[in-house]
Structure 1
Amino acid sequence: MMSLLLHKEEYQDQIFEHLSWLLEQYNENTDVFHVTKSLSQLLEVSGEYKIPLPDGKFQAICSALHNQICSQAKPLSMENHTELVHCVVQLARSSPDDLIAFLHSQLEIENEAVRVASLNLLRAIVGADLPETRPKKCLIVKAVKSTFSDQNATVRKAVLHFIQRLLSLQSVENCAAWDMVAHVFTEFSVSTSKLTLQRT
């Protein structure tokens, strides 16, 4: 039904006007999986048929999804988390540059949960290996490299998980791979040094 409506320009504004209302539902103290599912369907259709989101809506959706993933107030169900990540991957199909820029900005925030969520989403985007994001791998790596000096153990672990996913792909550009490999060896050296100090 949504794909039929979005195909007609006269209904597009009406559907996109409801986006703000839909995103506001995340603030309600209810099970929000239905909200994420509705958003996922809308993003799939708009991405499949190359229907651009209205100005300002992209950023609002990014913020709402990211806040849901980072939220400590109410635990996410597994199905909702999976659907939230799927929504982010759909956003990567429609506007990879804007999404990467958004997540890069989140990595600059001094908050462990925000940084870890951003790294995990970048890992999901790389893992999806979309035609739209393949040329953006070096840009994604640049964003991840901005966290290399972070001393938080959870953030460092998320970086290593990202690297593992990146290096498992067949289409890894050299500019991306070697910096990542070098970081793994650096982390290994640090961990080895700490173990040595603990034993002495």
Structure 2
Amino acid sequence: MAKSYVKKLSATLMDAITDKDPLVQEQVYGALCALGESQPEQTLGACQEHLRQHEKLAHPHRTMILKAMEAVVSSHLGRLDQGTAKAVILLASSEMTTVKELVGDWQQAASSVLVAVGRRFINEVMEELLGKFVPGVLPHCFVVQTLASLSVSNVFGTVPFLPSILSTMLPMLGLAKHDALRAVFCCALQRFSESTLEYLANLDQAPDPTVRKDTFSSDIFSAYEVLFTHWLQSREAKLRLAVVQALGPMSHLLPNEKLEEQLPKLIPGILSLYKKHAEAFHMSKSLGQILEASVSVGSRTLEVQLDALLAALHAQVCVPVELSSPLAVSNQKEVLRCFTVLACCFPDRLLAFLLPKLDSSHERVRVGTLQVVRHVINSAAAQMEVRKPFILSSMRLPLLDTNNQVKRAVVQVISAMAHHGYLEQPGGKAMVEYIVQQCALAPEPEPLGSEISEGGSPLELGPASPFSWGR
């Protein structure tokens, strides 16, 4: 296909992208992508030329062309030469930052082009972005966001730049007065921390295996102080959640002694947010990361926080879960993850807290407690091994419970016990007899449209379920 023909065809297609019919716009997008399949560099060149020649082209149409460019780049990154890559980078950078105000779809599309090119041409993309990320000047939001996205999409390529990026960013945190920009900085710190942790976990594959946690710890702690001390107190809920999401992965990079020093403030600070936000997932996830970081450094102060942690986490697991809400279901998983960490470190304290609650007068408390017992039997099997008799003896009371929700939860606990060899212990026979008794009961018709749940986890108790001794 002749170069001039590709150029003419691309121009004709992009002239049609202004059609008011969304279907036509989608067809143009598809045609540009198809053209890019056979002639990626020529198609990208035609798109660049069209955008430069039509400065007044409306944002939605510019967005569509940029999305087509991203698709072509992503599919044919290996075929692009450096000249084409640099031209695409300059265009996307200009499209992303020409307007200071936020025009989400348009600027996001340009950012996505830069991230796509950066998977191979990271040095060229970084050179362009860092030219717009200079000390003492608040950057465009999408410059920060693009750096954050790059750190996740190309970990090995981006992490070597992070010490320089962080040293430039830290003074900017004090200059940022608007919650929207603060939230973007939080997102960037979260992504930078996540990519750094991934880099450190894969040093055998990293381009520079000499990189250490200490390289980042001081800067991350300086950022942590701003986020935790000042921004977490914001009245803006979105900013608080952005801070919480950042604090989890950041905690793994704090200097060991600083993390230990901060725990008496950090854990209560996160727990207090459960009362301020109806959606608890982000708090639970961050809390799990903080607990894991604390354990990894051998924290001595974590035990002091244990009573408050257990009470807050248990309250979460006892909340009925809307199975139609992915975040609510994910929250339960993160809460159970926290219980796993605590079960591995403080098994006796955990069981002493949990097992008396099997005698609660509240159905949800009994069901939630059984859910945690089942979970730690599975996830902390080594720690529970010597405590099998104690756990078995604590199940005598639940075996007498007549509540159907509790019965379902008991069956699931027994199933986990069977998988881990509890039923060979004294008292195990009673568990087997309980299962047999439940099989002999006539099934009760469920109300139309009802859902069976155990702390948010659907339990399918068909005829064969009691004999499925898996976890």
| TM-score bracket, shorter-length normalisation | 0.7 to 0.9
Q: Given the superposition, is the C-alpha separation of residues 131 and 47 from structure 1 closer, same or farther in structure 2, using an over 3 Å criterion?
A: farther
Distance in structure 2 (CA, Å) of the matches to 1:176 and 1:6: 48
Equivalent of 2:428, from 177, 181, 197? 177
Which residue does the alignment assign to 2:403?
152
Larger radius of gyration: 2
CA distance in 1, matches of 2:294, 2:381: 16
Is 1:35–2:283 an aligned residue pair? Answer: yes
Q: Are residue 64 (structure 1) and residue 312 (structure 2) matched?
A: yes
| Higher mean C-alpha displacement, 50-59 vs 126-135 | 50-59
> Separation in 1 of the partners of 2:302 and 2:337?
20
Point out where structure 2 has 5 or more consecutive residues left out of the alignment.
1-249, 445-471
What code does the residue aligned with 1:71 have?
V
Provide the aligned C-alpha RMSD in A. 2.6
**Which amino acid in 1 is paired with 2:264?**
F
- When residues 172 and 42 of structure 1 are mapped into structure 2, their CA distance, relative to the original with a 3 A threshold, is farther
* 1:124 alignment partner, one of 375, 387, 390: 375
Instruction: State how far apart, in whole Å, the 2-side matches of 1:115 and 1:151 are.
Output: 12
Equivalents in 1 of 2:424, 2:293: separation in Å? 31
Partner of 1:110: 361
CA 1:14–1:29 in 2, change beyond 3 Å: closer, same or farther? closer
The one-letter code matched in structure 2 to 1:5 is: L
- Take 1:170 and 1:90, find their aligned partners in 2: how far apart are those partners? 22
Partner of 1:198: none
Q: Of the candidates 12, 28, 33, which is equivalent to residue 260 of structure 2?
A: 12
CA contact (8 A) 2:263 2:302 kept: no
Using the alignment, how far apart are the partners of 1:99 and 1:31 within structure 2? Answer: 25
Aligned equivalents of 1:138, 1:155: Cα separation in 2: 21
Q: 2:314 is aligned with what amino acid?
A: H
Q: Which moved more, 1:33-42 or 1:134-143?
A: 134-143
Distance 1:170 1:94 in 2: 22
**Would the alpha carbon gap of residues 6 and 163 (structure 1) be closer, same or farther in structure 2, given more than 3 Å must change?**
farther
Work out whether residues 374 and 413 of structure 2, in 8 Å CA contact, stay in contact via their aligned partners in 1.
Answer: yes
* Structure 2 residue aligned with 1:44: 292
What is the aligned counterpart of 1:88 among 333, 339, 362? 339
After TM superposition, give the deviation of residue 149 of structure 1 in Å: 1.4
Following superposition, the deviation at residue 111 of structure 1 comes to 0.5
Return the alpha-carbon distance in structure 2 between the equivalents of residues 88 and 44 of structure 1: 11
Residue in 2 that maps onto 1:138: 389
Percent identical? 27
Deviation per CA, 1:87-132: give whole Å up to 9, x if none.
1111101101111111112212101011001001100111114322
Paired with 2:295 and 2:399, the residues of 1 have a C-alpha distance of: 33
Residue pair 1:44, 1:90 contacting (<8 A) in 2 also: yes
| Matched letter for residue 384 of structure 2 | T
Say whether the 8 Å CA contact 2:378–2:416 is kept in structure 1.
Answer: yes
Superposed displacement of residue 11, structure 1: 4.1
Q: CA shift at 1:4, angstroms?
A: 4.6
What's the TM-score, normalizing by structure 1?
0.83
Stretch deviating more after TM superposition (42-51 or 143-152): 42-51
Q: Which residue identity lines up with residue 429 of structure 2 in the other structure? A: W
2:274 aligned residue: 26
In structure 1, the gaps of 5 or more residues are 195-200
Q: Deviations over 1:147-184 (max 9, x none)?
A: 12111111111111110121123576522532321322
Partners of 1:173 and 1:6 lie apart in 2 by 46
Q: 1:6 to 1:61 in 2, by over 3 A?
A: farther
Is residue 168 from structure 1 mapped to residue 419 from structure 2 by the alignment? yes
Q: Which deviates more from structure 2 when the two are superposed, residues 66-75 or residues 116-125?
A: 66-75
Q: Deviations over 1:174-198 (max 9, x none)?
A: 2253232132233344x16x9xxxx
Question: Separation in 1 of the partners of 2:255 and 2:422?
Answer: 34
Please give the alpha-carbon distance, in whole angstroms, between the structure 1 residues aligned to 2:376 and 2:360: 20
The structure-2 alpha-carbon separation of the partners of 1:81 and 1:57, relative to structure 1 and needing over 3 Å to count, comes to: same
| Higher mean C-alpha deviation, range 59-68 or range 12-21 | 12-21
Structure 1 position 57, deviation (Å) = 1.3
Number of aligned positions between the proteins? 192
Q: Aligned equivalents of 2:396 and 2:303: distance in 1? A: 30
Q: 1:81 to 1:106 in 2, by over 3 A?
A: same
